[in-house]
Amino acid sequence: MSNLFFTSALLPDGWAENVLVETDGRGRIVSAMPDAACPADAERFAGAAVAGIANLHSHAHQRAIAGMGESSGEGSDSFWSWREVMYRALDRMAPEDFEAVAAQLYVETLKAGFTAIAEFHYLHHDRDGGAYADPAEMSHRAIAAARTAGLPITLLPVLYNASGFGGTPPTAGQRRFIHDGAGFDRLTTALRHSYGEADDVQLGIAPHSLRAVPDGLLTEIVAAHPQGPIHIHIAEQRREVEDCVAYRSRRPVEHLLDTQPVDGRWCLIHATHMTEAEVAGVAASGAIAGLCLTTEANLGDGFFAADSYMAQGGRWGIGSDSHISVSPVEELRWLEYGARLTSERRTVLAGGPRRSTARRLVEDAQAGGAQATGFESGRIAAGLRADIVVLDTDHPLLAAREGDALLDGWIFAGNTPLVRDVVIAGRAVVRDRRHPREDEIADRFKKTLGRLLG
């Protein structure tokens, strides 16, 4: 048992003062008691404590190229032209380079206030497309980087089999991603053997997209993996929707809902371009919509139908995807701001009169992130992981605020980071805005980028 003491905390039934959280040896909450005295052996945190938010969609290797590809090319730039820039950047990335980039990202993730990450991991093979001696080599590197940072990880090995609808052969730029069904089974079997009992690792699968995984193969791997999260990119760009309609005479979300057992295990990443019927279908399924606002904006994808989806009880969470930004604040803020810009109203997603917009956004993202990653977290409550973020109530941006006004200040009052401490499984991994290994990890990252991009 260990004790954590928070001067204030958001518990399931509301804000409370002087909260004593007892945790067990696995970092799970045994009790959360308000109006408690602070024991002598407790670790004390001054500030406002809230359960952490999981980052439900990450491509860690893309942190190495954040901010690149921003010069206009010839013709019209889009996701598809940016993708070629990303593919070229992978040509020189060795396993140790990937681990260095991922470790830097994961430290940034913690300091921003995320408390878990779902790694949608498709960088499997060597630079020439050949297999490593250990087919899970790059997956091991992702988990090693997460453990270096102290960040729980949901590893989602990606099945990528084709470059387009109809089983179009992969391109040269995709050579490091490709698996057939048997190769993918070997990978996932190896990962279950290595990490199946780990408290800090959850395992799932990620069929990349309907264009990259033919129908028969998708059905096969879903049936072969009856447990764990299933994440898939879907309906991110209009061209993908048009190509799907041309090939199948159905839209991607419509097709997925008709042909797969979509339920609470599934996380539909982006789901940007949906009809009202598709919005209703996803909301009714219990699946999570994985929203990545800063990446979707950066790539010019479009805006998710948040107001309609949330009004129908749809579940959702946030991810930083390409890591053009690593901030739950920015993802949540732009979810609301996008809804305001498209509706010409304010507090669109608050969920009712006289409700805090940030409270609604934070709590939905906590619940959706926990569901999508498979970690039992998202609230400060008995039986759940003690994954907790402490906001700096001494900061001027949070001055004279209390309760939900602290959350509104965190999300909407400015761009200064307001996370002071981060607790993972009952242990502080960020204290006073510092991660104990951030300098060495940053130094390694900078040297790695010097080699990759120099």
Domains belonging to the chain, first-starting first, are 2-51+379-432 (2.30.40.10), 53-373 (3.20.20.140)
Averaged pLDDT of the chain: 95
- Catalytic one of 97, 301, 321, 408: 321
Phi first, then psi, for residue 277 (nearest 5°) are: -65, -40
Res 452: pLDDT: 86
Residues in the chain: 454
Q: What is the pTM of this model?
A: 0.96
* Contact (CB, 8 A) for 203 and 228: yes
Coil vs helix vs strand at 332:
helix
pLDDT at 437 over 80: yes
Q: What is the pLDDT of residue 88?
A: 65
Q: What is the pLDDT of residue 454?
A: 73
* Strands (E) located in 84-187: 114-121, 153-159
Known catalytic membership, residue 432: no
Confidence of residue 70 (pLDDT cuts 50, 70, 90): confident
What is the predicted pLDDT for the residue at 76?
59
Instruction: Quickly tell me which residue has 């264009």 as its tokens.
Output: 211
Residue range 306-318: mean pLDDT, rounded = 98
Which of 27-41, 170-184, 187-201, 229-243 is predicted with the least confidence, judged by mean pLDDT?
170-184
Instruction: Identify which of 3, 20, 1 has the alpha carbon closest to the alpha carbon of residue 11.
Output: 20
DSSP 238-276: HHHHHHHHHHHSS-HHHHHHHHS--STTEEEEE--S--H
Amino acid at 220: E
What CA–CA distance (Å, rounded) separates 142 from 153?
9
**Per-residue model confidence (pLDDT) at position 318:** 98
**pLDDT for 408 beyond 90:** yes
With 80 as the cut, is the pLDDT of residue 61 above it?
yes
Residue of 357 and 82 predicted with greater confidence: 357
Q: What is the pLDDT of residue 84?
A: 64
Structure confidence at residue 81 as a pLDDT band (50, 70, 90): low
Q: Using the predicted structure, report yes or no on whether residue 52 has a pLDDT greater than 90.
A: yes
Write the pLDDT tens digit of every residue in 143-186.
999 999 999 999 999 999 999 999 999 988 889 999 999 999 99
With 60 as the cut, is the pLDDT of residue 80 above it?
Answer: no
Q: Which amino acid is at 413?
A: A
Q: In what order do the strands lie in the sheet with 427-430?
A: 29-33, 14-23, 2-11, 43-51, 388-391, 419-424, 427-430
CA-derived radius of gyration, the chain? 21
For the segment 201-226, the average pLDDT, to the nearest whole number, is: 97
Read off the pLDDT band of 448 (50, 70, 90).
Answer: very high
321: annotated active-site residue: yes
Query: What is the predicted pLDDT for the residue at 344?
Result: 97
Per-residue pLDDT at 171: 87
β-bridge pairing 266-270 and 230-234: parallel
The tens digit of pLDDT for each residue in 19-45 reads: 999 999 999 999 999 999 999 999 999
Strands 288-291 and 427-430: unpaired
Q: In this structure, are residues 273 and 237 in contact, taking their beta carbons and an 8 Å threshold?
A: yes
Is 80 exceeded by the pLDDT of residue 100?
yes
Least confident of 246-255, 257-266, 444-453: 444-453
The pairing of beta strand 201-203 with beta strand 206-207: unpaired
pLDDT at residue 82 is higher than 70: no
Dihedral over alpha carbons 148, 59, 448, 73 (to 10 degrees): -160
Catalytic residue, chosen from 208, 270, 323, 435, is 270
**What average pLDDT does the segment 368-379 reach?**
98
Tokens linked to 46: 């001054």
Is residue 16 over pLDDT 70? yes
Please calculate the CA angle 72-77-78 and round it to the nearest 5 degrees: 145
Evaluate if residue 83 carries a pLDDT over 70: no
Which amino acid is located at 388 in the chain? I
Mean pLDDT of 279-306: 97
